[in-house]
């Protein structure tokens, strides 16, 4: 599984890893039922913190994308084909939205920034504000 | 936190009346890779010396593996489980690499010959070269070899990649990660290389002038910290009382850049409430967080 | 392994000390030692030198020391030493022990050289007298060695060297200015009043020296525990 993370991008590494795993599933690089590399292996191959990898795996499990079997490892869940159907629908939504934005005269760069902005708002809303700040 | 490996509470230390540490807490849990950041003179090395037992704090306590680290018998047993790399990487000027390894080995009953062989090969240290003839990078590697080869459960490293080229740095980072992953080692390290901290640390603390100013899980920090780019229709006549969370505010004409440590959504709404404003949210790197907090604002 | 480290730190100093002690002996040898008074002078000079070699041989205590240069400040590798799982007491004891062993070897060797080169010393004495002499000197010198160890524990950089030398010089001056009872004057006991001439072991001086050495070393051992580096 070829993964590329950017530690200096500002986006938390565990989120990047989750994205990359999801992407790998969508691309077919990982098939339902297939085993994911061990946490240790990913940590060493990517030279990243094993706890961060573990967190990504936990969230993937919570999202139902991955099943963790104690003692054996993490496996792509059978229902992970779900994302592909959803993805086709999402692709239609994105296509319409971008066509409309483009027809408003926005450039590619402007559209990209708009989208990243909305994503940032979403990300920020997800994180629980800590008690002491 | 269950059984922290390092637990420091309220550390204070002054030298000749000048405070070097002014109330530092540290909680490092087992298996964590903890990044300790700060400018030169901020108190990093003083903290590490306190952890090593070279200094005694004026007030506060330090416990490693649940025991205070002083010169008692128990502290000696604890030192068998810790690997240190000091800041200046100075080692005995009259020994060769081989002699120093032979000297160090008997102190640690848990010495791992397999690890020693692995690192001797990886670091390619000439065994019969005298230590003063080694470059700083090679001394860093040698010190790391000594710290790691005895199967330490805890590594306390002061600038471990000092003097190393990018290839060597990546090698060392991979070994540290492998130690954490395979041997369950806990790693506490200070570094000026923010990129490497960003890469492998799960928790960071930034200290400035002896006080901790940022502390938390790296992933959480990166999610909480956001940069707001605000473009206004006209320059602000009255200063805006920005909400809590705006750490660093820079205004130039009609653009305002705010680094928010939290409350980014509320700040964004506040910014949008200004007449004719356009606001952008951008993720923030560890370097930006660091500079915003330690550069005199 | 600590003994190996101590040996590394001391070997050139031992050589230097040996040269320091043997040079005046060579000078005297060439000049000739005709009378017992001249012999007494030789012994006095050598005894003083023996005592001063306590300074280089005690070294910098638990701090790392380059073999030939003194310590430039606190050598960084001292931190490495202190991070090892070994008590500071043991670090100090081994280094002090090595210093004592080196000193004893130095005394033995140079005393043997003097014994062989100056027949006048052999004239009134026997081999057992020689042995008694060595023992006396070793015990008395141990006291000065302890002073050096204490200085190295309390002071940094080159200060401990000056402090040791000053202390020893001061003690010598005091024994000259305010002569103590002859049985307690360690300087005389090592030289003019040595077993070579008196044919008996100067127990008071030996006991005082050894107790003093033990006391001073105990002080150093206590201080080294709490010092900051």
pLDDT in tens, C166-217: 998 898 888 888 888 877 888 888 887 777 777 788 888 899 999 999 999 9
Helix (H, G, I), strand (E, B) or coil at C229: coil
Residues A13, A26 share a domain? yes
**Which span out of A25-34, A45-54, B270-279, C37-46 was modeled with the highest average pLDDT?**
A45-54
Q: In the listed set A65, A80, A95, which residue is the last one of a domain according to the structure? A: A80
- What is the rounded CA–CA span in Å between residue B249 and residue B233? 18
For the purposes of burial, counting CB atoms within 10 Å of the CB of A118, is it exposed (0-12), middle (13-18) or buried (19 or more)? exposed
pLDDT tier at B297 (50, 70, 90 boundaries)? very low
More confident residue, A131 or B111: B111
Residues A94, A76 share a domain? no
Average pLDDT value for residue range C81-88: 92
Query: Between chain C and chain A, are at least 3 CB pairs below 8 A?
Result: no
pLDDT attached to residue C216: 95
pLDDT attached to residue A133: 39
- What is the rounded CA–CA span in Å between residue B107 and residue B150? 9
Residues A101, A45 share a domain? no
| CATH code where residue A68 lies | 1.10.10.10
pLDDT attached to residue A113: 84
Paired tokens of B69: 């680290």
pLDDT attached to residue B10: 94
Residues A62, A29 share a domain? yes
What is the average pLDDT score of chain B?
Answer: 91
pLDDT exceeds cutoff 60 at C48: yes
pLDDT tier at B1 (50, 70, 90 boundaries)? low
More confident residue, C202 or B129: B129
Question: Is residue A12 in some structural domain?
Answer: yes
Residues A104, A39 share a domain? no
pLDDT tier at A80 (50, 70, 90 boundaries)? low
Question: Is residue A2 in some structural domain?
Answer: no
Question: Is residue A27 in some structural domain?
Answer: yes
pLDDT attached to residue B296: 60
**In chain B, residues 22-61 whose CB comes closer than 8 Å to chain C:** 49, 52-56
The pTM of the whole model exceeds 0.90: no
Average pLDDT value for residue range B218-238: 87
Least confident of A35-44, B172-181, C178-187: C178-187
Cβ within 8 Å of residue A54, ≥6 positions away:
A39
Residues A60, A16 share a domain? yes
For the purposes of burial, counting CB atoms within 10 Å of the CB of B253, is it exposed (0-12), middle (13-18) or buried (19 or more)? exposed
CA distance B136 to chain C (A): 13
Which residue, C101, C121, C98, C120, is CA-closest to C109?
Answer: C101
B109 touches chain C (CB under 8 A): no
pLDDT tier at B153 (50, 70, 90 boundaries)? very high
Q: How many helices (H) and strands (E) does chain C have?
A: 11, 0
Question: Is residue A32 in some structural domain?
Answer: yes
Question: Is residue A14 in some structural domain?
Answer: yes
Q: What percentage of chain C carries pLDDT values higher than 70?
A: 96
- What is the rounded CA–CA span in Å between residue B110 and residue B183? 13
Cα B31 from chain centroid? 15
Question: Is residue A133 in some structural domain?
Answer: no
- What is the rounded CA–CA span in Å between residue C25 and residue C45? 9
pLDDT attached to residue A132: 41
Residues A50, A107 share a domain? no
pLDDT exceeds cutoff 80 at A88: no
Q: Which helix (H) or strand (E) holds B20?
A: strand B18-28
For residue range B281-292, what is the model confidence (pLDDT) as tens digits?
888 999 999 999
pLDDT exceeds cutoff 60 at A130: no
Q: Which helix (H) or strand (E) holds B138?
A: helix B136-149
Q: Do B181 and A130 touch (CB under 8 A)?
A: no
- What is the rounded CA–CA span in Å between residue C63 and residue C153? 8
Residues A28, A11 share a domain? yes
CB < 8 Å to B92, chain C: 5, 8, 64, 77, 80
Helix axes B97-104, B136-149, angle to 10 degrees: 20
Average pLDDT value for residue range C112-125: 83
C166 touches chain B (CB under 8 A): no
The set of chains that have 3 or more CB pairs under 8 A with B is A, C
Q: What percentage of chain C carries pLDDT values higher than 90?
A: 35
Q: Do B104 and C84 touch (CB under 8 A)?
A: yes
Paired tokens of C74: 């606190």
Average pLDDT value for residue range B2-9: 89
pLDDT attached to residue A118: 84
pLDDT exceeds cutoff 70 at C33: yes
Q: Which helix (H) or strand (E) holds B82?
A: strand B82-85
Residues A107, A59 share a domain? no
Cβ within 8 Å of residue A72, ≥6 positions away:
A35
Q: How many domains does chain A fold into? A: 2
Burial B144-155 (b: 16+ CB within 10 A, else e): bbbbbbbbbbbb
CA–CA distances in Å: residue C68 to residues A41, A118, B117: 50, 69, 33
pLDDT attached to residue C41: 82
ipTM score here? 0.89
- Which residues constitute the domain of residue A111? 82-126
For the purposes of burial, counting CB atoms within 10 Å of the CB of C179, is it exposed (0-12), middle (13-18) or buried (19 or more)? exposed
Residues A87, A76 share a domain? no
Residues A75, A24 share a domain? yes
- Beta-ladder partners of B282: B227
B15 touches chain C (CB under 8 A): no
Residues A59, A25 share a domain? yes
Question: Is residue A132 in some structural domain?
Answer: no
Place of tokens 């806990």: B186
For residue range C56-76, what is the model confidence (pLDDT) as tens digits?
888 878 887 765 554 455 577
Residue C17 has φ and ψ, to the nearest 5°, of: -65, -40
């Amino acid at each position: 599984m070829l993964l590329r993370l950017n530690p200096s991008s500002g986006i938390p590494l565990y989120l990047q890893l989750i994205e990359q795993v999801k992407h790998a599933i969508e691309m077919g690089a990982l098939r339902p039922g297939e085993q994911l590399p061990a946490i240790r292996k990913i940590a060493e191959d990517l030279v990243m913190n094993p706890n961060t990898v573990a967190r990504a795996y936990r969230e993937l499990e919570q999202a139902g994308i991955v099943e963790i079997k104690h003692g054996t490892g993490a496996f792509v869940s059978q229902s992970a084909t779900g994302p592909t159907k959803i993805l086709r629908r999402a692709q239609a939504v994105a296509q319409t939205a971008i066509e409309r934005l483009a027809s408003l005269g926005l450039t590619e760069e402007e559209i990209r920034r708009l989208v990243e902005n909305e994503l940032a708002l979403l990300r920020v809303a997800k994180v629980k504000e800590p008690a002491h700040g | 936190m269950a059984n922290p490996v390092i637990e420091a509470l309220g550390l204070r230390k002054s030298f000749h009346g000048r405070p070097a540490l002014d109330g530092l807490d540290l909680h490092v849990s087992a298996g964590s890779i903890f990044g300790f950041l700060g400018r030169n003179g901020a108190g990093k090395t003083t903290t590490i010396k306190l952890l090593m037992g070279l200094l005694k704090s004026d007030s506060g306590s330090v416990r490693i593996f649940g025991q205070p680290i002083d010169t008692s018998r128990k502290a000696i047993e604890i030192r068998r489980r810790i690997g240190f790399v000091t800041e200046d990487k100075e080692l005995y000027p009259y020994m060769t690499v081989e002699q120093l390894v032979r000297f160090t080995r008997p102190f640690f009953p848990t010495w791992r010959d397999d690890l020693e062989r692995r690192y001797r090969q990886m670091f390619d240290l000439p065994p019969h070269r005298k230590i003063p003839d080694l470059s700083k990078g090679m001394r860093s590697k040698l010190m790391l070899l000594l710290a790691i080869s005895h199967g330490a459960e805890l590594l306390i490293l002061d600038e471990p990649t000092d003097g190393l080229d990018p290839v060597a740095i990546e090698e060392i980072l991979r070994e540290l990660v492998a130690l954490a992953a395979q041997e369950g080692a806990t790693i506490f390290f200070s570094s000026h290389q923010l990129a490497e901290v960003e890469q492998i640390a799960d928790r960071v603390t930034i200290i400035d002038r002896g006080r901790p100013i940022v502390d938390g899980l790296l992933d959480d920090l990166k999610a909480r910290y956001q940069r707001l780019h605000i473009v206004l229709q006209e320059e602000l006549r009255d200063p805006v009382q920005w909400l809590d969370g705006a750490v660093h505010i820079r205004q130039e004409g009609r653009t305002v850049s705010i680094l928010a440590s939290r409350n980014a959504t509320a700040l964004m709404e506040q910014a949008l409430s200004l007449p004719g404003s356009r606001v952008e949210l951008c993720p923030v790197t560890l370097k930006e967080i660091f500079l915003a907090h330690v550069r005199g604002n | 392994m600590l003994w190996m480290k101590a040996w590394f730190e001391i070997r050139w100093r031992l050589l230097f000390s040996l040269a320091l002690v043997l040079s005046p002996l060579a000078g005297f040898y060439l000049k000739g030692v005709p009378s017992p008074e001249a012999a007494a002078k030789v012994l006095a000079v050598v005894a003083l030198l023996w005592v001063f070699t306590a300074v280089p041989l005690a070294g910098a205590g638990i701090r790392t020391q380059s073999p030939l240069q003194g310590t430039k400040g606190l050598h960084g590798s001292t931190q490495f030493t202190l991070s090892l799982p070994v008590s500071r007491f043991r670090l100090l004891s081994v280094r002090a022990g090595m210093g004592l062993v080196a000193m004893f070897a130095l005394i033995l060797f140079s005393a043997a050289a003097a014994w062989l080169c100056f027949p006048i010393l052999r004239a009134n004495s026997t081999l057992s007298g020689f042995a008694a002499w060595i023992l006396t000197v070793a015990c008395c010198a141990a006291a000065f060695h302890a002073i050096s160890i204490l200085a190295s524990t309390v002071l940094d950089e080159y200060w401990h060297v000056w402090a040791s030398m000053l202390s020893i010089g001061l003690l010598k001056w005091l024994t000259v200015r305010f002569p103590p009872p002859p049985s307690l004057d360690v300087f005389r006991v090592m030289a003019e009043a040595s077993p070579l001439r008196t044919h008996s072991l100067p127990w008071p001086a030996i006991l005082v020296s050894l107790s003093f050495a033990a006391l001073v070393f105990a002080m150093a051992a206590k201080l080294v525990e709490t010092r900051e580096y």
